[in-house]
Amino acid sequence: MRKGMSRVAVMMGLLAFGVPAAEAAELNGPGDDTTYEVRVVNRYESSVRVYVEDASGRLHHLGLVSRGRFEVLEVSSKIAEKGDMRLRIYPTQTNRSPISGTDGIRTKQLRLQAGESVTMWLERDLTQSIIEIQKG
**Tell me: the pLDDT tens digits for 8-31?**
555 555 455 454 444 443 434 444
| The model's pTM | 0.66
User: Range of 43's domain?
Assistant: 33-134
- Whether residue 83 is contained in a domain is answered as yes
**Tell me: the pLDDT tens digits for 25-57?**
343 444 445 568 899 999 998 999 999 988 888
Q: What is the CATH number of the domain that holds 66?
A: 2.60.40
- Whether residue 16 is contained in a domain is answered as no
pLDDT at 30: 46
Please answer whether residues 78 and 109 qualify as being in contact, where contact means their C-beta atoms are separated by less than 8 angstroms: no
Find, among 131, 107, 109, 102, the residue nearest to 119 by Cα: 131
Domain count for the chain: 1
